[in-house]
Structure 1
Amino acid sequence: MSAPSYVPTDVLSPPSYDSPPRRGDSWFAARPGEIAEGQPVDERLGTPGPDQGYAYRLLGQFAGRVFLAEGEHHDDVVAGVIAVATKRSGLFGRAPVVFDLTVAFAVWGFLDESPDPELVTLRRTMFEGCRSPHHYAHRRAVADAVPADALRRPHGEVLAAHGADWRSLLELSAGHGH
């Protein structure tokens, strides 16, 4: 922005500041809060990513398309599915998109009108209580049951794989659930 016309300018006077031709030392991350080597990885830290809350905004696109079995609670399902969707978006280093939710709902069979009864039993156990803020470990268990390899696949492949064998998309330990 130039100076107003009423400010006198003397073209012969030197400028008030003159920057050096180059900086002496190169910059490096040395501050205590600086993350120099990527995100920390440890148990219960999840998969960080930008604007993960946007997944809640995308839920409206699934109205009437999500099928719950008897004994399943909508809020538990939403909390668990969002944990899976944000894990997927975080793996790609971006905010959630509708396909992240599609994959998350599909992996657990919530887009099927008549899912396998064994999967429904597993879902009831895994998703129970996920809605509670005190049950972070439950949401982590739901998200961790879906391996990163399955989440990196295109959503169409995940839908097809779920139709062929839903077990191929989950990694369940002997003591799954809570």
Structure 2
Amino acid sequence: MAAPKFTPVAPTDAPRAYGSPEHVPESWMPDRPGDIVGFQPHGDRLGAQGPDQGYAIKLARALRTELRLQPGEDLDDVERGCLGVALRRASMFSRAPVVHDLTIAFRVWGFLDENPPAELVAMRMPLFEGLRHVTHHYTEARVVADQVPVETLRSTPGEVEARYPDEWRALLGA
């Protein structure tokens, strides 16, 4: 244990050093009944698994001031719908969410635009309505997340920004 320099120490005290344990345990293996072997499963209603997904909520809250909603749209609905898109993108790269995942999600749905195309607004309003009620609208939130094609999710934020609003239909696979 460390001690201040002014603490008296007997010169006969032997300093302690690290010593390896006599037994080194075997390597851990996923052999319990609930352990997943290989990658996460894919399928209907399983979503997009990835590490530290809760961090996306913090990132989304930090971007709230940049979102431009139309009359009748709810901020919590928008956040919930775009979180699914952002988490899907992050899981494609096997990493935790970053701010670029959310900016792409908000951009393709037109929430970072003062004047989004009228057709886009008409399309997104019924899709995002009520998504804030997570337990009742999980399937609807998956529809929003799955609407964005893989090609868009693999794009950089700059590429998405360059294509929006002229190619919003292609960005959404519509």
Give the TM-score range, shorter chain: 0.7 to 0.9
Compared with structure 1, are the counterparts of its residues 17 and 61 closer, same or farther at alpha carbon in structure 2 (3 Å cutoff)? closer
| Count of residue pairs brought into register by the alignment | 157
Per the TM alignment, residue 19 of structure 1 is displaced from its structure 2 partner at its CA by 6.3
Amino acid at match of 1:146: V
Q: TM-score, normalised by structure 2?
A: 0.80
Matched, 1:168 2:170: yes
Would the aligned equivalents of 1:162 and 1:168 in 2 still touch at CA under 8 Å? no
Percent identity over the alignment is 49
CA distance in 2 between partners of 1:19 and 1:98 (Å): 42
Q: Where does the alignment leave 5 or more consecutive residues of structure 2 unmatched? A: 2-12, 15-20
Q: In terms of mean alpha carbon deviation, does 115-124 or 146-155 score higher?
A: 146-155
Would the aligned equivalents of 1:67 and 1:111 in 2 still touch at CA under 8 Å? yes
Q: Which residue of 2 aligns with 1:31?
A: 32
Per the TM alignment, residue 163 of structure 1 is displaced from its structure 2 partner at its CA by 2.5
Per the TM alignment, residue 161 of structure 1 is displaced from its structure 2 partner at its CA by 1.7
Would the aligned equivalents of 1:103 and 1:158 in 2 still touch at CA under 8 Å? yes
Per the TM alignment, residue 27 of structure 1 is displaced from its structure 2 partner at its CA by 7.5
Per the TM alignment, residue 128 of structure 1 is displaced from its structure 2 partner at its CA by 0.7
Q: Which residue of 2 aligns with 1:53?
A: 54
Q: Which residue of 2 aligns with 1:81?
A: 82
Q: Which residue of 2 aligns with 1:151?
A: 153
Runs of 4+ with deviation above 6 angstroms? none
Per the TM alignment, residue 35 of structure 1 is displaced from its structure 2 partner at its CA by 1.4
Root-mean-square deviation (Å): 2.5
Q: Where does the alignment leave 5 or more consecutive residues of structure 1 unmatched? A: 7-15, 173-178
Q: TM-score, normalised by structure 1?
A: 0.79
